[in-house]
Amino acid sequence: MLQGNGALITSRTQDTVQLEIRKIAVRDLSKARDGDAPADLFTTNLLDVVNDPAVDVVVELIGGTDAAYDLVEAALKAGKPVVTGNKALLAERGGPLFALSKEHNAPIHFEAAVAGGIPIIKAVQESLVGNRIESIAGIINGTSNYILQRMTEAGLGYPEALKEAKELGYAEADETLDVNGWDAAHKAILLASLAHGFVIDPEKVYVRGIEKVTPLDIRFASELGYVVKLLSLVHKCQNGDIEIRTQPSFLSKKHILASVHGVFNAVAVKGDHLGESLFYGRGAGQGPTASSVVSDLVEAARNSRADRGFLPYKESGPLREIDESKTSYYVRFSVNDQPGVIAEIASILAQHKIGISGTHSPVDADNPDAEFLEMVFLLHTCPFGQLKLALQEVEKLACITARPVVFRIENL
């Protein structure tokens, strides 16, 4: 990208920015690579990049949280700005790095860490600087989004959809962070820190992945007017608490995020003066990532030390406990087909002051006299902890044959 568009960048910055690669650290010197960088630029020693006096800005794109941390730490201590696409590093170990950034007046730029080529970091940090951010809702993991779409459209099971995603290159050989929700959660943590000014402890963030989503629940969702999406949510509650969670949820087919397909990402941001705004585009891939990295490189070169990137402006903030979070719910029960089942379940829910907005139990046309069936309850809004207590009692009923399946119904 720098080779092809370097002259354009220089022209657009009125000759104030000229980017030249001075050193490239890699694990394997013999690996074939796109581009034709001279061999003498390459090294296998990460610290050569930091220690070279000709290097003004350090770019970290190696992933992980150990070697990457050592590299970024060394760069900041040397007073060199850092550009990174490493969401796990900043979400899990960002606290000390942002402190070093402040101490050494060396900014950290990380546009590529969230939603690939979508300029969501700059939008939240700069364009919306005059707004109080009321909510952020996003589909920010393309792998999970593709898998759920294939399960919805083709009726594939999770293993089959994952296999297809790997064959197409949409999922890594080790897909764990994509499907267990943590890739999206890391991004949500960074967005929450930007919006609300303090470093978030990942251990206090509620995260669930898509591994246990079944075609049955996707079919029920569709019949009820919803789609299943892995949603990341950051919400400022009325009492000032910040609610952060990532999990597969029911989303109305009418909501604009329901139309985000394949490996695309989208983030809806609501500001107190702006209202709602939607950012949509490719959330991963070499081109979109390079676009964000080069944008940050130009920013670092243009502003030098005057711009410190993101710095927390609060020591801490109140995070809402997941048990206090409130939504309406879809709950699926596997039950024995016997008289009084609905009444037994409804009685326990009523004892816990949880209202029922509807029930759904489709008959299997091929087996109308089945001994076991699936029964869906749509529940009114209540605290998650209240629902958990009720379901613990429901599970003890003789008519229940499996642990209840729960999805939040998000009314964004």
* Structural domains of the chain, with CATH: 2-117+288-306 (3.40.50.720), 120-283 (3.30.360.10), 322-410 (3.30.70.260)
Closest CA to 94 of 192, 163, 176, 23: 192
The answer to whether residue 305 scores a pLDDT higher than 60 is no
328, exposed or middle or buried, with CB in 10 Å at 0-12, 13-18, 19+? middle
Number of H helices, E strands in the chain: 13, 15
**SS3 category, 263:** coil
pTM of the shown model: 0.87
Active site residues: 187
**SS3 category, 343:** helix
- The distance from CA 85 to its chain's CA centroid, rounded to whole angstroms, is 14
β-pair partners for 59: 83
Q: What is the pLDDT of residue 338?
A: 82
**Confidence band, pLDDT 50/70/90 cuts, at residue 304:** low
Share the mean pLDDT of the chain.
91
Interatomic CA distance for residues 290 and 281, integer angstroms: 14
Q: What is the pLDDT of residue 371?
A: 66
The string of pLDDT tens digits covering residues 242-273 is 999 999 999 999 999 999 998 899 999 999 99
Q: What is the pLDDT of residue 17?
A: 82
The DSSP code sequence of 146-163 is HHHHHHHHS---HHHHHH
The DSSP code sequence of 154-200 is S---HHHHHHHHHHTTSS-SS-HHHHTSHHHHHHHHHHHHHHHSS--
β-pair partners for 410: 251
**Is the separation of the CB atoms in 382 and 354 below 8 Å?**
yes
Closest CA to 182 of 219, 146, 218, 209: 209
